[in-house]
Amino acid sequence: MFVDNSEELAQNKLLLLYIIDKSPKPLTNAEITEFVLDNNYMNFFLVQQFLSELVETNFLKYSDENEKNYYILLNKGKLTLEYFDNRIPKDIKDDIDKKLKIKKIEIMREKQIRGSYIKKNDKEYVVTLKLVEGDTTLFNIDLNVANINQAKLICDNWKKNPDSIYQDILDSIIKLR
């Protein structure tokens, strides 16, 4: 459970720096922890200990942005990672790069599927659903709904299953009766 030697300790801290550096977006504590645990790189307690130590020693900064706390790689961390990059086994770096590339594709997909709502008045919300590919809007619809729960549900469903919803709407519109 605990790190047996200084080499392993250094490698684990470098691994965290590497993940944060290569991530396509800033990562929260929960996202880093989930990534590390899912891939069996180290246990929960070590992740928390090492992240805390990396912040205390100014390798990382814990930043509050958009009501979420993210880790940011500081210059000292970047230089250390560049200098000791060879201490992280190549197969682990390749595995991390592959998984972060998949994550990047998921993030890009999320940016293309947009669902939002605004309060129109006390009894009405306007939900906007969009499907965007590059610079082209493929689908855009505004819906008036009675309450915030409906607005949230519609946005959540849209983000989870846009292809099916889009196809159902398209089929309904072009269906001959």
Domains of the chain: 6-88 (1.10.10.10), 111-174 (no CATH)
pTM, entire model: 0.62
Along the 177 residues of the chain, how does pLDDT read in single tens digits? Answer: 455 678 888 899 999 999 999 998 889 999 999 999 999 999 999 999 999 999 999 999 998 765 678 999 999 999 999 999 999 999 999 999 999 988 887 776 666 888 999 998 988 999 999 988 767 888 899 999 999 999 999 999 998 888 889 888 888 888 766
Residues in the chain: 177
**For 75-123, what is each residue's pLDDT tens digit?**
999 999 999 999 999 999 999 999 998 888 777 666 688 899 999 898 8
Residue 1's pLDDT is 43
Residue 3's pLDDT is 52
Residue 110's pLDDT is 65
Which whole-number Å values give the CA distances from 169 to 117, 159, 161, in the listed order? Answer: 19, 15, 13
Stretch (H or E) spanning 136: strand 136-145
- 3-class secondary-structure state, position 39: coil
Q: What is the CA radius of gyration of the chain?
A: 22
Which ranges of 57-145 would DSSP assign to H, the alpha helix? 75-84, 90-112
Residue 131's pLDDT is 85
- 3-class secondary-structure state, position 111: helix
Residue 141's pLDDT is 94
